[in-house]
Amino acid sequence: MIWSIPSEERKAWDRRVPHYLRLRDHFASLIERGALLAGGKLPPERELGDHFQTTRVTVRQALMQLEAEGLVFRENRRGWFVSPPRIQYDPTADVSFTESVLAQGRRPGTTVLSKERISASAWESQHLGVVAGEAIFLVRRLRSVDGRAVLLEHLHINAKRCPGLLDLALDGSLTKLMSEHYGIFEHRPYINMRPTALAESHAEALGVTTGTPSLYLSRTNHDQFGNVVEFDQEFWRHDALEICVNAHRHGPAQRDEGTNEASRDG
């Protein structure tokens, strides 16, 4: 049986290592060698506990460790699944989500959850460079890869720059839409990232449990003249992506030989 742990492996266990970590290693090995396929559903916790002759608490500890490492994930009321391969993501690249996912041979998807015209809060005015109370657009979108929700977006957009935006189809690349309809060519000079946990509303949108690890990313998009057009918040599933930054594209600073000589002389 696929779940069975060979007797010789059990005999080699160091009894000082917690049992849940041994289970973690066993599951990780099955996943890494392809015995458990991506997207496959795991048996219920109680069934696994009975099979391994351990408690459900120990099984859950092992699964939560695997979840923290991005090897498995939970879906509300559906159980545990083996995580699909991560997508590679370069937040500094001026490439849309759709283009990036397609380039990796995966299937992107976008669902517009809501779109509305609101008055800018003090916090939004600070990030968009507008006056508090001024009209802005707020668009919430759910992005998916191969049918699996991986990213929740909150897009705060300067309404003055994009009149009629909410009447357009917003389930594609906004970067492309901005250039084609408004002559705005966006670039992303300011990006912040930090690990966090999903709040209830964000977790519900992504179909996971509250408190699931997440990567929070915020970015300010400017037009070709340096004016702020958009402030984005992204809530990523931690097991869905691998951050890859192309250091060669940014390149090392070119040496100023005159400056170097002056420094040596000084």
Give the pLDDT score at 7. Answer: 67
Please state, as a whole number, how many other Cβ atoms lie within 10 Å of the Cβ of residue 188: 16
Dihedral (C-alpha) 124, 129, 135, 138: value to the nearest 10 degrees? -50
Q: 19-32 and 56-68 are packed helices; what angle lies between their axes, rounded to 10 degrees?
A: 50
Segments of the chain scoring below 50 in pLDDT: 253-266
pTM for the model stands at: 0.76
Q: Determine the 3-state secondary structure of 201 from DSSP.
A: helix
pLDDT score recorded for residue 259 = 42
For residue 258, what pLDDT is reported? 44
Tokens for 78, please give them. 């559906």
Domain boundaries, the chain: 7-82, 87-250
pLDDT value for 2: 66
Q: Which residue in the block uniquely carries the two structure tokens 């992303």?
A: 188
pLDDT of res. 250 = 52
Distance of alpha carbon 109 from alpha carbon 120, whole angstroms: 29
pLDDT at 9: 65
Strand 228-237 versus strand 148-158 pairing type:
antiparallel
pLDDT at 12: 63
User: Which helix (H) or strand (E) is 155 found in, with range?
Assistant: strand 148-158
Instruction: List residues bridging with 231 in a β-sheet.
Output: 156, 220
Q: Which residues pair with 8 in a beta bridge?
A: none
Domain 7-82 has CATH 1.10.287.1080: no
Q: 87-250: what CATH class?
A: alpha beta
Q: What is the three-class DSSP state of 118? A: strand
> 225: Cβ–Cβ under 8 A, 6 or more apart, which residues?
none
CA 159-161-162 angle, to 5 degrees, is: 65
| Rounded Cα gap, residues 170 and 53, in angstroms | 52
The reported pLDDT for the residue numbered 189 is: 72
